Each structure stands twice: as structure tokens, then as C-alpha cells.
Amino acid sequence: MTSLTPSNSLRTETAKHCFARSQGKSYARVAGGGFKPFINFVLREVGDNSMNKNEKKGKFHVEPFLWFAIVLLFGLLVPLGCYDPSALYDNLRVLYDNILGKLVIFTILAFNLWHACHRIYHATHDFKFHPPLIVKLAIYGVAFGGSICVALMLV
């Protein structure tokens, strides 16, 4: 007695044809029975090593230059005596006394606190622990409390 349902191999072949058509490509077999459009799709989409798929290629990043300046200043120039630490203190004191400088310092510290707490909360999900609301409030409460402390210290 024959079954009216298609066999697994027929279903697989039909799925491959449909996938190839949805990608705007023709169905093509390669040596070894592989599926060329599917392999190309996997290599293009899954093989991309960037963490953010929405990030544009060739986007300019400022962060490496800031790290270079920090390493150059504190790792080479100050230890070698090319830059006077007391002048560095005076320059940072002027930044701290300025209202715009205080805003920059608060922004850097507060955003780092919120980012760290956000990463900690999502790390709990990575470890398959889905915390209740009270844990979320406690984690983000640390960021809120830290931001308040930073604001009070800068006033």
C-alpha cells in the first residue's frame, strides 16, 4: 500500500527548491551532494564575525584613538617624565571645577554604571536564570544609587 504523503527525501528536495527560489537563486548541487545557495547563505550570514549585524562596514570609531591617547599619556609620557603630573592635576582640577566638565564626568560615570548593571542583568539570562522583578529592581537600583552618589560628589 502506498502512502499519499511525500517521502522525507522529496520533502527535503522541495524545501531546497523553495529556499533557493526565495533567495532569488537557482537550485544547484555541488560535488558531494551539497546545496550551494544554502551554503553561500550560511557562509554569508552565520560566518560573519561581527557582534552587531546592523553595524555598517567601514564605520569610523573614535574609541581606539581615545585608548591610544590614554595609554600614551599615562603609560609613556608621565612615567618617562615628559609630562609633569602636577600640570596634569591642575588641568584635571580645572575640568572638575567647570560645570561642563562636571557634566562630562557625571555622564561618563553614570552611563558606565547603568551599562554594567544592564550587562549583569542580561548575564543572568545567559546563564538561564530569569530573575524576578525584585532582582531586576535591585540590580538597576545599584545603578540609580551610584548615579545619585556621583551627582552628590560632583556638587
pLDDT digits (tens, 9 = 90+) for 6-20: 555 555 555 565 565
Considering the domain architecture, whether residues 90 and 35 belong to the same structural domain is answered as: no
Residue range 82-127, pLDDT digits in tens: 888 788 788 888 988 999 989 988 998 999 999 999 999 999 888 8
Rounded CA gap, 97 and 91, in Å? 10
Is 75 inside a domain boundary?
Answer: no
Q: How many CB atoms lie within 10 A of CB 24?
A: 7
**Domains of the chain: total:** 2
Rounded CA gap, 90 and 102, in Å? 15
Q: Which helix (H) or strand (E) holds 34?
A: strand 34-35
Is 39 inside a domain boundary?
Answer: yes
Is 62 inside a domain boundary?
Answer: no
Is 76 inside a domain boundary?
Answer: no
Q: How many CB atoms lie within 10 A of CB 34?
A: 10
Q: What is the pTM of this model?
A: 0.49
**DSSP label at residue 30:** E
Residue range 31-85, pLDDT digits in tens: 444 555 555 555 555 555 555 555 566 677 777 888 888 888 888 888 888 888 7
Cell of 115: 551599562
Is 53 inside a domain boundary?
Answer: no
Is 37 inside a domain boundary?
Answer: yes
Is 40 inside a domain boundary?
Answer: yes
99-126 and 85-97 helices, crossing angle to 10°: 90
Could you report how far apart the first and last alpha carbons of the chain are, in Å? 86
What range does the domain containing 123 cover? 84-154
Of the candidates 102, 112, 107, which has an alpha carbon nearest to the alpha carbon of residue 154?
A: 102
Considering the domain architecture, whether residues 98 and 40 belong to the same structural domain is answered as: no
Is 79 inside a domain boundary?
Answer: no
Considering the domain architecture, whether residues 31 and 91 belong to the same structural domain is answered as: no
Considering the domain architecture, whether residues 93 and 149 belong to the same structural domain is answered as: yes
